[in-house]
Structure 1
Amino acid sequence: MSKINRKSKAEIVLPPITVMENEARRLNTLASSSAMLFPRVAHFLAQEMERASLVADDSDLRGVVRMGSQVRYCDDKTGEVRDVVLVYPHEADIALKRVSVLTPVGAALIGLSVGQAIEFQTPGHNKRSLTVLGVSN
């Protein structure tokens, strides 16, 4: 019985996410084309797109992280609150707080709603958890 308990605690439970159809297509293409250079995060992004609920491109997704969204999130381990804009890799600029969707944090944020938390693995194989505090599109 204790094995079952340990396993269930170790499993990462992912929250439901919502992504617009066109963004999902573009992000799937990005994940595929980046798989050789960035295999771990490309695989994570592809998995996120596979499990996403897709909605029409003209849907009103208030409070949902999309490409170009300004996102306020909390690092659940450190308590640090950050404000970033989620962008495609060619638009990324950490000095301007523009985070690429092709980073672990960016891939974790896409499709989340305000109040949702997600746990994911960093490149150093550590687990990290973020909670979305606010989104503006």
Structure 2
Amino acid sequence: MNKITPEKSAATRPVIHMIDQEGDAIEALAMTMEAKNPNVAELLYEELARAQFHSAETIPADIVTMNSKVEFIDERSGSRRVLELVYPRDADIEKGRISIFTPTGAGLIGMVAGETISWPDRSGAERILRIVSVTPPETAEAAAG
């Protein structure tokens, strides 16, 4: 089996920022999904290990959190996408909703608009993703409604 691992260890990648309650939910999800998909569970554990936690009220609006809409560019292919980062039960790629429990979803959580990350895709190939913009959940929901 070809194991997916980030290019750099969690200790050498920059700090990310997460909402404390989301961190708890993501950790619980990773524990329940570990047997089914250990590679992505490991990626999520590494992200949690390097995260600084904030309350929902104090996290900056340009940080990717759960239910944020994220516009990013795949620097290698040049493709530009806008996706909403969601929990697995809400994932629907046709509606632009990507699960936190995918390699790309795990890579996006906690990122800041303007940052770039080298991250593995489902095949294990490294992708370079640049975050163009982040729309917080409240704003994203108001725009859709």
Q: TM-score, normalised by structure 2?
A: 0.83
Deviation at 1:124, TM superposition (A): 2.0
- SS of residue in 2 equivalent to 1:115: coil
Aligned residues with identical type, % of pairs: 32
- SS of residue in 1 equivalent to 2:101: coil
Q: Are 1:87 and 2:92 matched, yes or no? A: no
Provide the aligned length of Structure 1 versus Structure 2: 127
**Equivalent pair of 1:24/1:49 in contact (CA under 8 Å):** yes
Counterpart for residue 3 of structure 2: none
Q: Which runs of 5+ in 1 are unaligned?
A: 1-10
Residue range with higher mean Cα deviation, 95-104 or 58-67: 58-67
Counterpart for residue 74 of structure 1: 73
Structure-2 separation of matches of 1:14 and 1:99: 23
Counterpart for residue 30 of structure 1: 29
Q: 4+ residue runs of structure 1 moved beyond 3 angstroms?
A: none
Structure-2 separation of matches of 1:68 and 1:16: 20
**Equivalent pair of 2:73/2:129 in contact (CA under 8 Å):** yes
Deviation per residue, 1:27-52 (Å, 9 max, x gap): 01111111000110111011101111
RMSD over equivalenced CA pairs, Å: 1.2
Structure-2 separation of matches of 1:83 and 1:120: 17
Task: Please identify the structure whose Cα radius of gyration is greater.
Answer: 1
Q: TM-score, normalised by structure 1?
A: 0.88
